[in-house]
Amino acid sequence: MPNPYREIFAAPGAAGFCAAGFLGRMPVAMMTIGVVTMISEITGRYGLAGALAATLALSGAVIGPQLSRLVDLHGQRRMLRPAVLVSLTAISGLLLCARRGWPDWLMFVCAACGGCVPSLGSMIRSRWANIYRSEPRRLHTAYSFESVVDEICFIVGPIISIGLSTTWFPEAGPLMAAGFLATGVFWLTAQRATEPVPQPRDERHPKGSALRSPGLRILVVTGVFAGTIFSSVDVVTVAFAEEQGHKSAASLILATYAAGSCLAGAVFGLMHLTGPPARRWLLGVCAMAASMIPLQFVSNLTALTCALFIAGLAIAPTGVTIMSLVQEHVPRTKLTEGMTWASTGIATGIALGAFASGRVVDAAGAEAAYAVPAIAGATAVVLALLGYHRVTPAAQHADCTPRAQGGADTDGQGDSAPQGKGDGREACGREACGREEDGREEDGREQQPVA
C-alpha cells in the first residue's frame, strides 16, 4: 500500500530541510514561555515577565512578514543568517540584563530586537511548494506533515523550556531555544539545492505587499481570532486546573489538546480530497468554533481533557487548508511573505487571547473565562462567512476572460481562474482581479486546486 508521507520524502534534500526546520521552529514554542519562567524565577515579577513575552511576540509579528518579503526577493540564505544573528544578539542581551539586574527599559529594547526571527515554518513550506508546485496531492501531504511538526514542537517545546529553567538555572530555557534557532537556521540555509530561487522585482512583479490580495486579508483577520482561541484555551485551562487543585495537570491536558490536532493532521495528509479548499476552510473554522461550546459546561478535569482532545481535531486540517489557500491568493514571487502573514495573524491573536482571558479569569474565574474562546470562535465564523466570496478564487475571477489562442480550460471544480494557453495571462482588466494586480507570473501550466 503506497504511503503518501514516504513518497514526499523521495525528493532529494527533503529530509534534510525538514530536520533543520524542526530544530529552527522549536524556539516558537520555547522562547516566550522560557522568558516568562526566567523572569519570574529571577525577579518574581509576573507582570514584567508577561510584558516582555508580549513584546517579544508582537515584535516577531511585525518584523516577520517584512523579513519574509526580503527572503522572496533575495533568497533564504542571504537574509536569514544576518537576521538570526541580530535576534541571537538581542536574546543574549536580554538574558544578561535579567541576570545582572539591569534596567527594565533595556530588557524591553532587547525583547523588541529579539523578534527579528525568521518564520521557519513558512521557509520550509515554501521549499515544499517549490518541489511539488505541479503536484497538488503531494503538496497537500507535505503541508499536513508540517502541521504535525508544528504540533509536536508545541507539545515538546514548553516542557523542555520550563523544565530547564526550573531545574537547572533560570536562563537555561531561553538559552536552549536560542541554540535550536541558530542550529536550525544555519543548517537550513546551508542546503542550497532545495532553496527557492529569489524573485527580484521587475516590470512583471510590481512593488507592494502580499496583503494587497483581498483573500489573504480575510485569512489573516480570521486567523487573529483563531489565535485568540488557542491562547485563551491555554490560559484558562491552567487557571481551571488550579481551581480544581491540580495545576500541574494543566500541561498534560494541553498536550492532549495538541495531540488531537497532531492526529488529525496526520490523517488529513493521507486523504485525497477534492472540491474547493475555500469550502474546507469555512467548514474548519465552523468546527473550531463549535468545539468551544462543550467547554462552557465542563465541571472536572476528565471532561475537560476529552473536550479539548476533540477540539484539537479541527486545528491542523484548517491550518493545512489555509496554507493551500495562501498559495492560490498570492503570486509565486510573494509566497513566503503570504505564508508568514497568515502565521502573523495567528500570532497576533495569541497575544490578544492571552491578555483577554487573563483579565476574565481574574474578574470572574476560570469557568466563566471559557467564554473568551467561544466568542472568538463565533467571531471567526462571522468573518469567514462574510469573506467567503473573497477567499474563493473562482468567485473572485468569475468575470475574467482569458487572453488565449483557442479558449480556456478549467478543472471542473471551480477552484481556479480560467487559464489560457497563449501567454498564460488573463485579460480581466478589473482591479478586483488579484492576479493581474499582484503581477502573478504564470508559467503556462494549467492551474489546479491544492487539495
| Residue 167 forms part of a structural domain | yes
Q: Is 191 exposed, middle or buried (0-12, 13-18, 19+ CB in 10 A)?
A: middle
Q: Are 9 and 15 in contact (CB under 8 A)?
A: yes
| Residue 448 forms part of a structural domain | no
The verdict on 187 and 257 lying in the same domain is no
Residue 438: half-sphere exposure toward Cβ, Cα within 13 Å: 25
Number of domains observed in the structure of the chain: 2
Q: Which of 174, 198, 222 is the last residue of a domain?
A: 198
Q: What is the CATH number of the domain that holds 128?
A: 1.20.1250.20
Q: Which of 375, 396, 417 is the last residue of a domain?
A: 396
Cross-strand bridge partners of residue 408: 420
The verdict on 324 and 183 lying in the same domain is no
pLDDT of residue 208: 63
Grid cell locating 76: 533564504
The verdict on 143 and 280 lying in the same domain is no
> H or E element: which one contains 12?
none
d(CA 313, CA 259): 8
| Residue 430 forms part of a structural domain | no
| pLDDT tens, position by position, 77-118 | 888 999 999 999 999 999 999 888 899 899 999 999 988 887
Grid cell locating 348: 497576533
Provide the residue range defining the domain that includes 45: 13-198
Cross-strand bridge partners of residue 409: 419
d(CA 206, CA 376): 36
| Residue 431 forms part of a structural domain | no
pTM for this predicted structure: 0.70
| Residue 78 forms part of a structural domain | yes
pLDDT of residue 161: 82
Q: Which distant-in-sequence residues (6+ apart) come within 8 Å of 358 by Cβ?
A: 50, 235
The verdict on 333 and 221 lying in the same domain is yes
d(CA 172, CA 272): 44
Q: Which of 396, 419, 445 is the last residue of a domain?
A: 396
Report which DSSP code applies to 416: S
| Residue 416 forms part of a structural domain | no
d(CA 390, CA 398): 12
The verdict on 32 and 124 lying in the same domain is yes
pLDDT of residue 255: 83
The verdict on 89 and 165 lying in the same domain is yes
The verdict on 344 and 281 lying in the same domain is yes
pLDDT of residue 427: 32
The verdict on 44 and 153 lying in the same domain is yes
d(CA 184, CA 27): 10
Cross-strand bridge partners of residue 133: none
d(CA 124, CA 126): 5
The verdict on 382 and 265 lying in the same domain is yes
> H or E element: which one contains 104?
helix 104-114
pLDDT of residue 107: 92
- Largest alpha-carbon pair distance within the chain? 73
pLDDT of residue 436: 36
The verdict on 94 and 215 lying in the same domain is no
Provide the b/e sequence for 378-391 (b: ≥16 CB within 10 Å). ebbbebbeebbebb
The verdict on 176 and 216 lying in the same domain is no
Report which DSSP code applies to 291: T
Cross-strand bridge partners of residue 420: 408
Q: Is 46 exposed, middle or buried (0-12, 13-18, 19+ CB in 10 A)?
A: exposed
Q: Are 348 and 79 in contact (CB under 8 A)?
A: no
| Residue 413 forms part of a structural domain | no
Question: By C-alpha distance, which of 381, 443, 422, 451 is closest to 197?
Answer: 443
**Which positions of the chain have pLDDT values less than 50?**
203, 394-451
The verdict on 192 and 298 lying in the same domain is no
| Residue 27 forms part of a structural domain | yes
Q: Are 369 and 405 in contact (CB under 8 A)?
A: no
Q: Are 69 and 337 in contact (CB under 8 A)?
A: yes
